[in-house]
Chains A and B, each alone.
Chain A
Amino acid sequence: MKLTGEAKLLVALGALVLFGVGFLILTSRGPTGPGGTQPTPTPRPSLNVTAALVDEMYSKARHTKGDPNAPLTIVEFADFECPSCRTAYEQNVKDIEKKLPVRFAFYHLPLDMHPRAIPAAVATEAAGKQGKFWEMYNQLFEPANVLLTDEVLEAAAKKIGLDITKFNADRQASDVADIPLKEREHALEHGIDTTPTFLIKDKNGNTTSVAGAGAFKELYDDLKDGVLSPKPAGPTAPGQAPGPPGPQAPAPATGP
């Protein structure tokens, strides 16, 4: 079939748009593609993951699960509103203590770009006051609870059987409300400014850190024996810093 002049013109226009819009989209994605890093607003200390750091983070964590003597240690820094954290939860983190020989710890790292991250983090801490932090953690990462409105938080609290009056009172208490902010500061002091970030130490003392659901998924299968394989994205020698951080640059200094 021979194209008319008008058809040829549209093909040319289409090619122009393809290049123009393609260029705009690629430049809006940042340097590392989907799920890739965006530049951080302010320089942070570089992340230096040592076995001692992972152990310290684990031992100081408010919330841990799994066998405390497990060969593998994983410390997660996450935000309940962060899509990549939610993906990581769905893919690998949910019931991780049943799937890996791991002792697992969690730190809050609520990003300013996520307005419901802090209320959600505070809700888990209020649930923790009633001994149900992990139940609330699981609830808030469930896909149905993505919006994290006050109604969703309260419904989740009811679902796991919390005393709602106490839950709401605890959410207002300053000692509970400050926990996520303090944990965020703690993370930032160590150069952890991306969610989700996982610090990992294997049974041989090798360490690494990965950022982003995709990077953690890639590493996950190698962790089943409690050993970091030599090929993962980040270095595995003890004390080495990981590769470039993952999917979300936080904006602790630049609120919405």
Chain B
Amino acid sequence: MKNPLYNRIVFLLSFVGLMVAGYLWFLHATHGDVPCGGSGGCDRVAQSPYARFPAGKGPFVAAYGTLGYLTLVALSFLRTLGAGPKRDRLLLGLIVLAAGAGTLFSLHLTYLELYVIQAICKWCVASQALILGVLFVSVAEVLQEYRNKRGEILPE
């Protein structure tokens, strides 16, 4: 890991995401109302069949989010434990994959919010912004590493 700043940002965003998703999972499990600043959109989203995946019958979407962010936190933390460059690249690749999958899932949920449920939940928007941030930063690191590698192979 040549520039640890990227990984620190990924870790931080993932950690915040873990707390948001974990909190929502907790609220679902305890039948708590989701505070939404008076808009009521969170209630509509949380009570819709799409709060579970598969819709209406699977585990809560927040549970997938919690596990996804936990994976990202773990992967970014593992990168700091002095792994060699090969293992570091593998971990970074896994982060990009996990963040990409999370972003696709988030986009699907955004579509459902906008066009099916017709309500916006600020917690979901926060989580969508966080996973998008993780993807953006991790891809930026991959590109940086690629540029560095090219620079090493083809010095000007």
Q: Which residues of A contact B (CB under 8 A)?
A: 1, 3-4, 6-7, 9-10, 13-14, 17-18, 21-22, 25, 28-30, 33-35, 38, 81-84, 86-87, 111, 113-115, 143-144, 146-147, 213-214, 247-248, 251, 254, 256
Contacts and interface: CB of A to CB of B under 8 A. Distances in A.
Across chains A and B, which 7 residue pairs bring their CB atoms closest together, nearest first? A34-B32, A113-B40, A7-B80, A6-B80, A21-B19, A35-B32, A83-B47
B30 A147 contact: no
B20 A113 contact: no
Contact of B40 (A25, A35, A115, A146): A115
B82 interface: yes
Nearest to A30: B35
Interface of B: 1, 4, 7-8, 11-12, 15-16, 19-20, 23, 26-27, 30-35, 38-40, 43-44, 46-49, 56, 73, 76-77, 80-82, 117
B78 to A, nearest CB: 9
Contacts of B117: 147
Contacts of A1: 81
Contacts, number: 98
17 contacts: A1-B81, A10-B11, A14-B73, A25-B19, A34-B32, A35-B32, A81-B40, A81-B44, A82-B43, A83-B33, A83-B43, A83-B46, A143-B49, A144-B56, A146-B44, A146-B47, A247-B32
A84 B77 contact: no
A71 B11 CA distance: 60
A147 B4 contact: no
Contacts of A3: 80-81
Contacts of B39: 113, 256
A117 B49 CA distance: 18
Nearest to A213: B31
Contacts of B7: 6
B82 A4 contact: yes
Nearest to A115: B40
A18 B18 CA distance: 10
A248 B42 CA distance: 13
Contact of B49 (A33, A34, A146): A146
Contacts of B47: 83, 86, 146
A1 B82 CA distance: 11
B12 A13 contact: yes
Given A147-B48, A254-B38, A10 B23 contact: no
A22 B32 CA distance: 17
Nearest to B82: A4
A153 B30 CA distance: 28
A3 B73 CA distance: 16
B30 A35 contact: yes
A83 B28 CA distance: 11
Contact of A4 (B15, B20, B81): B81
Contacts of A6: 1, 4, 7, 80
A17 B35 contact: no
A28 B49 contact: no
B16 A17 contact: yes
Contacts of A247: 32-33
B43 A87 contact: no
Given A4-B82, A34-B27, A248 B56 contact: no
Contacts of A83: 31, 33-34, 43, 46-47
Given A9-B8, A38-B35, A4 B80 contact: yes
A248 B117 CA distance: 21
B8 to A, nearest CB: 7
A251 B12 CA distance: 36
Contacts of A35: 30-33
